Chains A and B, each alone.
Chain A
Amino acid sequence: SAVISQKPSRDICQRGTSLTIQCQVDSQVTMMFWYRQQPGQSLTLIATANQGSEATYESGFVIDKFPISRPNLTFSTLTVSNMSPEDSSIYLCSARTGGRAGELFFGEGSRLTVL
């Protein structure tokens, strides 16, 4: 298993600002992903965070809006840029252990409210 720590756990942000969410895993992992979960909804994949290279984004998500870094095998950041109220959501970091076919674990999430 893996313990995934995210911060901030929650924040209230002003429209037009940007916020960076940090994700730290307690062991080296092959793959890390960022998901968004709007209140009462399912999980939607934003992107795969690739170590040492640009993230792979899903349809509807772009790098300018959600820049992602992954400088090593245990850490990643997601920035939500130029926020609007529609960006109010829970952002979840996840990591896969045991190689490419391993299990996926999640952090506790970062709840963002944009005013």
Chain B
Amino acid sequence: QQQVKQSPQSLIVQKGGISIINCAYENTAFDYFPWYQQFPGKGPALLIAIRPDVSEKKEGRFTISFNKSAKQFSLHIMDSQPGDSATYFCAARGQAGTALIFGKGTTLSVSS
């Protein structure tokens, strides 16, 4: 119930392509779904987040798509660049005040 399942574990995309990372959850009490980007040796950095009252949120090249009925959400990185090569974590949070639960992460490599 408390898990967030993330796939794929790793992803290789050509420069300029679209990177897609998927997450699924079971707990319908989750109400906040952020994505974090982590570079080697650095802490995770908040990239973009969505709440379940909207189906999509876009910030620059990054878009979250949210499907409440399927309990799934995904991160799309448009025009992927080598600088996007990092590990991406999806996460979910239940009621306000509780901690985030993280997916296992996806290592993205964008080849030039």
A63 located at the interface, meaning its Cβ lies under 8 Å from any Cβ of chain B in the complex? no
Q: Total A-B residue pairs with C-beta atoms closer than 8 Å?
A: 44
B12 located at the interface, meaning its Cβ lies under 8 Å from any Cβ of chain A in the complex? no
B44 located at the interface, meaning its Cβ lies under 8 Å from any Cβ of chain A in the complex? yes
**Which partner residue on chain A sits nearest B43 by CB separation?**
A106
CA distance A33 to B44 in the complex (A): 14
Indicate the size class of the contact surface on chain B.
20 to 34
Q: How many residues of A contact B (CB 8 A)?
A: 20
Whether A100 touches B34, Cβ cut-off 8 Å, given contacts A43-B44, A106-B43, A106-B45, is no
B21 located at the interface, meaning its Cβ lies under 8 Å from any Cβ of chain A in the complex? no
Q: How far is the CB of B101 from chain A (nearest CB, A)?
A: 8
A108 located at the interface, meaning its Cβ lies under 8 Å from any Cβ of chain B in the complex? yes
Q: Which residues of A contact B45 (CB under 8 A)?
A: 106
Interface residues of B (CB under 8 A from A): 32, 34, 36, 41-46, 49, 89, 96-97, 99-105
